Amino acid sequence: MAKIKSLADLRNMKSDLQAKIKLRENANNPESMVQIKVGMATSGIASGAKEVFNYLSEELAKRDIDAVVTQTGDMGYSYAEPTIEVTLPGKEPIVFGYVNIAKADEIIEKYIKNGELVEGIIPVNYRKVE
Amino acid sequence: MDTVKLVIDNKQIEVPKGTSILNAARANGIYIPSLCYLNLNHLHIENKPGSCRVCVVEVEKRRNLAPACATECLEGMVVKTNSLRVLNARRTVVELLLSDHPADCLLCPKSGKCELQDLAAEMGIRHITFKGEQSSYRKDESPSIIRDVDKCVMCRRCETMCNQVQTVGALSAVNRGFGAVVAPAFEQDLIKSPCTYCGQCVAVCPTGALTEVDNTTKLIRDLADPTKTVIVQTAPAVRVALGEEFGMPAGTIVTGKLATALRQIGFKYVFDTDFAADLTIMEEGTELLQRLGKYLNGDKTVKLPIMTSCCPAWVNFFEHNFPDLRDIPSTARSPQQMFGPIAKNYFAKKIGVDRKDLIVVSIMPCLAKKYECGRDEFKVNGDPDVNYSLSTRELAHLIKQFNIDFKKLPDSDFDAPLGESTGAAVIFGATGGVIEAACRTAYELFTGKKLEKIDFNELRGLENVRQATLDFNGTPIKIGIAHGLGNARKLLEMVREGKCDFQAIEIMACPGGCIGGGGQPLHHGNSEIIKARFNATYEEDKNKPIRKSHENPYIIQLYKEFLGEPCGELSHHLLHTTYFDKSQLDITIE
Amino acid sequence: MAKYKYNVLVCGGTGCQSSQSALILENLKKEVAACNLENDVQVILAGCFGFCEKGPIVKIMPDNTFYVGVKPEDAKELVAEHIIKGRKVQRLLYVDPETQKHIDDSKHMDFYKKQMRIALRNCGFLDPENIDETISRGGYEALGKVLTTMTPNECIEVIKKSGLRGRGGAGFPTGTKWEFASKSVNDQKYVVCNADEGDPGAFMDRSILEGDPHSIVEAMAICGYCIGANHGLIYIRAEYPLAIHRLQIAIKQAREYGLLGDDILGTGFNFDIELRYGAGAFVCGEETALIHSMEGNRGEPTFKPPFPAVSGYLQKPTNVNNVETFANIPIIITKGADWYSSIGTEKSKGTKVFALAGKINNVGLIEVPMGTTLREVVYEIGGGVKNGKKFKAVQTGGPSGGCLTEKDLDTPIDYESLAAAGSIMGSGGMIVMDEDDCMVNIAKFYMGFIVDESCGKCTPCRIGNKRMYEILDKITKGQGTMEDLENLKYLAEVIKDTALCGLGQTSPNPVLSTLTNFWDEYVEHVVDKKCRAGACKDLMSYQINPDKCKGCTSCARHCPVNAITGTVKQPHTINQSLCIKCGTCKSVCKFNAIEIK
């Protein structure tokens, strides 16, 4: 990796990265690009987030769904671990809690494929700082 | 000097900046009790972990009470040392300490000298409000030191001595919470630790947690046994400190009273380790000259510097920490261990007593000497050359048991032949003394000239590490001196790195030398006491008619009658030793 | 693509469920079916909206309409009006108490959200193992800004002005702490991040390190610039392997990008960070103990002064801050001191993260602006007490804190108010207790923790706390006396007054606060030999209610010590002298005849 040599470089890199992410989001096939984040802090992993992460990665590929599955930190809903956040193209991200393998399957089949909401939604209950 | 003004107990006080409340109060006649605090001013070290909380005081505008030992005086501070809040807290803290302390004062070796006992008495504690579980540990009885950890109050004084001063690292706090205690690593026994038995920990322990192995009972039994001939040797440093135990000023020389007391106690012959010290000089000095001679003749196999080997704690220290350098110290045994074989092989025959019936006892300022007596190299068929050793403190106790009014005793002389000594032997008790004694003899033997100026003032002093270059008739002899094992370590590391051009080094394990030994009357860190003993040592030397070891007529006679020549075959057999690599500790973790 | 035109979300949070949200769900489903809208409208149960005060909540998507205080009988109207006619049901909309206006789009309802994420801003949003994601969200910009446009003093001024205080618990002003370290003159200084999180139940520092490690790296570099240090150390407990792993990756990536190391961003500023592992001793959270532990010495506190800012790690000036404190730094720099100080109360600015645990529905990690009340946290964010039990107490500050009760629930969360109420802010553990928790037992639990975790250095903490524990143990066994209670209080005050470090001085707090707030419960244990919560085994007995017992013999057959006797079809009895209180009889009884007395 090249070193970042100045603040200007850092800012350029930031906008490049943001553009890249946008590009990824609005790729040639914006309809099919799905982003999933799996909460994988210690509490998530202890509740099975790793299995869910692997399952989602494998199954989405198997089922021919163009998706990016990434790990992320603690979303804060310890009572509902594992938690995942699913962002369908052009839609608000939705967080699902209590996601086991069966739930993950349901989310793929109903929400990701058909946009049907399923039970287990955790409404965002905090203000963000942007 | 910057000063600060403050008020302690309504008294206006001005002290130098940086003074603690405790020291400020004490300097102004205000007494604040304390326990863990110990000012080792002869070492420029203060043990003030602030852990016992006995010295807490009320400082205005402060939320909680402050430990007087660790709190610095600030301008305008208002301190109360005796408010109700303070008294209640202090009393509760002492009660808490007592609630986890065995109440076996009747049997405790520290009884009467215990700082915790004093505190309890001072506060008039008659009842412990908060009773509960008491700590219970295995008693650890090493050859020199007994650890009764149930009595540990976590003052950390021993740790400061063992780690900061001596850099031995045998003792440190282990475990947590209620189980926290000072112990060797993995709570092993001392014998499995790098402990040198210097006894500096015992010398500072406020309670009975660290005490010496007491041989007085054994001695009384032996004295009472008509089949045994019990003889005694007494070390140079004992005579300048023993008086303190009887209320005499520090530095009082009590050599004559000591001999009388020992005789009254019932020793058949009262001898002097100083005699053996003169013998040591003959052997060690000869060894020095032999090594020096070869070295000056270009023999590269000769190792220099030569180091003194009189101090058993120092021997233990390098066996544990510098085994790679163990061919450097002189092979000469310590005076105690030279006395033993001479007594049992030479003197026993003279008086017609069988070796097994002769009991050789030593009075030493030292606890490591107890361990040294038991070393296998110093036994013949299991019979130790020196049967056992008593510390200066044990002797004082014994004298009191015998109801001897020590202060009023008449003086008497040691017995011949092993009681005659020179001024050179006397100064063995102080740092720099052994090497000075060696130089007095080595100079004359090396140069063949008479030494005009006997006092090598350049070798004397109480600085941690000293060096001096002596002129041996044109040949410069560079001498290094260290006392305290922490200082010894510094010199040893220089030697190991090859950065050392000394021809001879003297090391004594205890700060100040044997006069500050772990078996001496407790000095509580008062450097004036050490200085007084130091000066008394040189005073005694000055008053001796003979001041060079090789001029001791009984030494000359001994070589003539028995040993032959210094470093000869018999000497090698009886008066020299070998050292071992003890760097690998035998640790068993349960 | 969406199959349904409407999604109707019914709040399934425990608070709403107790207000019949299940029936609302059922009625809505029935109504949708009755109108033949099953293919267009889906009714589903959602998680807690965190607005329990106005529950039950129904949200209709995609309109984002937020209905509050919905009753089961409102189902018909909601379907008929909102779904079929597309008209919002005005009377169920939330009314802004200030403007008296109905709010019909939940996008404008941010204010109801009690939580505000500043320290946790990136947790759950970015991939912590990918520095690019951090950079794309503005990571390291604050560092760049500081290095290129601010002097160290200017930056310290910003932190001071922001009002940020130490999140480790004591609440010392962070900017002032930095200023002390910056003024110490020395060729070598250190920045230390205290990641030795040790309060029982607290895990916010771990979550920040796992979810947003770069924010800590960045903040430490900023601190280094401000105080004149180029060496950072993170003291983290070895029990946090994932946090360690992610920190290692973050540090490596930052070095590769030149955001750590020499000449950062071409400014000539050098800074690097290494990790130091702790063995998980609670006391090592105390900064002097932490420093000793990092030096390889026994982890035990020493008297302050000297403060670490003067003589810390290796006797060099050292600034120690907790993880959460550092996590606030970059955003304060980017958004400014005024923005930060606009959040919170007069003396406590910004937000605080809590690990909400215990007998509460929404156990989790929360972040609230200072000034939020305990009631809001317990009932709004936490969704109330589990299983509809009665709230008894909330414990903050871990073993150094206290238990607050119903009367304290309206206490705003800030350093001074919590202290005034008899607890402390602490590092962020918050444990809710219900009627089944015995407060004597709780005090004993915390005292047991302290006895285990005390370093053993000073007398009051080493022996005093042990004695406190023993008295508490006596009381829970029914052997306590009124004198014990007096002694307990007296000893607690002495320990507070005389212990060496902050941990020792605060260790009696759980006992003192329960003595104050639950004196009756202590007295009951001592005088009546009774534990109302049924938690103290020695003070309770199992008894068979003869009115309920059918004589089925099940209890007698299962009792492991044959303490139960009786004839078939006749009420049985328990021989109390044999009973070992294992509770087997109670669990096997089908008639609820076994009662705890």
**pLDDT band with cut points at 50, 70 and 90 for residue A125:** confident
- Looking at residue C181, which CATH number applies to its domain? 3.40.50.11540
Separation between Cα atoms, residue C301 and residue B161, nearest integer Å: 20
**pLDDT band with cut points at 50, 70 and 90 for residue C362:** confident
C456 and C311 in one domain? no
Last residue of a domain, one of C287, C305, C337: C337
C226 and C91 in one domain? no
Task: Classify residue C346: in a domain, yes or no.
Answer: no
C-alpha B160: how far from chain center: 16
- Looking at residue C516, which CATH number applies to its domain? 1.20.1440.230
Q: Residue B153: closest CA among chain C residues belongs to which residue?
A: C459
Whether C487 and chain B come into contact, CB under 8 Å, resolves to yes
Task: Classify residue C198: in a domain, yes or no.
Answer: yes
C204 and C106 in one domain? no
Q: Which of residues 434-453 of C touch B (CB under 8 A)?
A: 450-453
**Catalytic, out of B110, B344, B369, B370:** B369
Whether C256 and chain A come into contact, CB under 8 Å, resolves to yes
Average pLDDT over residues C277-297: 92
**Segments forming the whole domain that contains residue C444:** 439-528
Task: Classify residue C1: in a domain, yes or no.
Answer: no
Structure tokens, C96: 């802004």
- Statement: residue C556 has pLDDT above 50: yes
Task: Classify residue C102: in a domain, yes or no.
Answer: yes
Pairing status of strand C261-264 against strand C102-103 = unpaired
Residue B88's nearest CA partner among C249, C518, C116, C491 is: C491
Contact between C455 and B180 using a beta-carbon 8 Å cutoff: yes
- Statement: residue C112 has pLDDT above 80: no
pLDDT tens, position by position, C532-548: 988 898 888 899 999 99
C423 and C331 in one domain? no
Q: Which chains reach chain C with 3 or more Cβ–Cβ distances below 8 angstroms?
A: A, B
Cβ–Cβ under 8 Å, residues B306 and B587? no
Separation between Cα atoms, residue B246 and residue B54, nearest integer Å: 30
Q: Residue A123: closest CA among chain C residues belongs to which residue?
A: C49
Longest CA–CA separation in chain B, Å? 80
CATH topology of domain B3-82: Ubiquitin-like (UB roll) (3.10.20)
Helices (H), ranges, B241-364:
255-265, 273-296, 312-321, 335-342, 348-351
Separation between Cα atoms, residue C71 and residue C86, nearest integer Å: 20
Whose structure tokens read 């060690």?
B284
B257 is catalytic: no
Which residue among A7, A11, A76 places its CB closest to the CB of C120? A76
**Catalytic, out of B158, B439, B514, B567:** B514
pLDDT of residue B477: 92
pLDDT tens, position by position, C49-76: 777 777 788 888 888 888 988 999 999 9
pLDDT tens, position by position, C209-239: 999 999 999 999 999 999 999 999 999 999 9
Q: Which of C284, C300, C462 is best to mutate for the B interface (most B CBs within 10 A)?
A: C462
pLDDT of residue A23: 66
Q: Which of C54, C117, C253, C257 is best to mutate for the A interface (most A CBs within 10 A)?
A: C257
Last residue of a domain, one of C476, C496, C528: C528
Which of A64-68, B536-540, C302-306 is predicted most confidently?
B536-540
Pairing status of strand C190-195 against strand C231-237 = parallel
- Statement: residue C254 has pLDDT above 60: yes
Indicate the number of domains in chain C.
Answer: 5
Separation between Cα atoms, residue B147 and residue B212, nearest integer Å: 9
Task: Classify residue C64: in a domain, yes or no.
Answer: yes
Residue C109's nearest CA partner among C96, C121, C100 is: C96
User: What is the least distance, in Å, from the CA of C523 to any CA of chain B?
Assistant: 20
Contact between B132 and C470 using a beta-carbon 8 Å cutoff: yes
Number of CB pairs < 8 Å for A and C? Answer: 191
Task: Classify residue C462: in a domain, yes or no.
Answer: yes
Residue C150's nearest CA partner among C339, C334, C325, C341 is: C334
Instruction: Spell out, as residue ranges, where chain B has pLDDT lower than 70.
Output: 589-590
DSSP C35-93: TT-TTTEEEEEE---S-GGG-S-EEEETTTEEE-S--GGGHHHIIIIIIII----GGGB
pLDDT tens, position by position, B85-121: 999 999 999 999 999 999 999 999 999 999 999 999 9
CA C487, C489, C493, C498 dihedral sign is: positive
C150 and C292 in one domain? yes
Separation between Cα atoms, residue B13 and residue A116, nearest integer Å: 83
Separation between Cα atoms, residue B338 and residue B342, nearest integer Å: 6
**pLDDT band with cut points at 50, 70 and 90 for residue C375:** very high
Q: Work out the percent of chain C whose per-residue pLDDT is above 90.
A: 68
- Statement: residue C18 has pLDDT above 80: no
- Statement: residue C1 has pLDDT above 50: no
C383 and C281 in one domain? no
C364 and C473 in one domain? no
C138 and C231 in one domain? yes
Q: C113 phi and psi, to 5 degrees?
A: -75, 115
User: What is the least distance, in Å, from the CA of B7 to any CA of chain C?
Assistant: 20
C397 and C285 in one domain? no
Average of per-residue pLDDT values in chain C: 91
User: How many C-alpha atoms does B35 have within 13 Å on its Cβ side?
Assistant: 28
Contact between C2 and A43 using a beta-carbon 8 Å cutoff: no
- Looking at residue C40, which CATH number applies to its domain? 3.40.30.10
**Catalytic, out of B34, B193, B330, B391:** B330
C181 and C272 in one domain? yes
**Catalytic, out of B14, B75, B122, B377:** B377
Average of per-residue pLDDT values in chain A: 86
Residue ranges per structural domain of chain B: 3-82, 97-212, 217-575
- Statement: residue A31 has pLDDT above 60: no
pLDDT tens, position by position, C437-474: 999 999 999 999 999 999 999 999 999 999 999 999 99
Q: Which of residues 287-316 of C touch B (CB under 8 A)?
A: 298, 300, 302-303, 305
Return the H-helix or E-strand segment holding B401. helix B392-401
For residue C377, give the DSSP letter.
Answer: I
pLDDT of residue A24: 63
Whether B23 and chain C come into contact, CB under 8 Å, resolves to no
CATH code 3.40.30.10 for A29-122: yes
Residues of C in contact with A13 (CB under 8 A): 135
Residue C124 zone, left/alpha/beta (φ > 0; ψ -120 to 50; rest): left
pLDDT tens, position by position, B123-161: 999 999 999 999 999 999 999 999 999 999 999 999 999
Average pLDDT over residues C517-523: 96
Task: Classify residue C355: in a domain, yes or no.
Answer: yes
pLDDT tens, position by position, A73-119: 999 888 899 999 999 887 888 999 999 999 999 999 999 988 888 88
**Catalytic, out of B372, B436, B506, B540:** B372
C215 and C250 in one domain? yes
DSSP B325-356: GTTSB--BPPHHHHHHHHIIIIIHHHHT--GG
Contact between A129 and C4 using a beta-carbon 8 Å cutoff: no
Residues of A in contact with C21 (CB under 8 A): none
Return the H-helix or E-strand segment holding C327. helix C323-335
Task: Classify residue C279: in a domain, yes or no.
Answer: yes
Whole-structure pTM value: 0.90
pLDDT tens, position by position, B193-241: 999 999 999 999 999 999 999 999 999 999 999 999 999 999 999 999 9
pLDDT of residue B405: 96
Q: How far is CA B67 from CA B57, C21, C301, C514, in A?
A: 6, 61, 14, 29
Residues of C in contact with A42 (CB under 8 A): 203, 206-207, 210, 240, 242-243
CATH, domain range B97-212: 3.30.70.20
C258 and C191 in one domain? yes
B369 is catalytic: yes
Contact between C496 and B154 using a beta-carbon 8 Å cutoff: no
Last residue of a domain, one of C528, C549, C572: C528
Angle between helices C482-498 and B84-99 (to 10 degrees): 110
Q: Which residues of B467-488 are buried (b: 16+ CB within 10 A; e: fewer)?
A: bbebebeeeebbbbbbbbbbbb
Cβ–Cβ under 8 Å, residues B90 and B102? no
CATH code 3.40.50.1000 for B217-575: no
Average of per-residue pLDDT values in chain B: 94
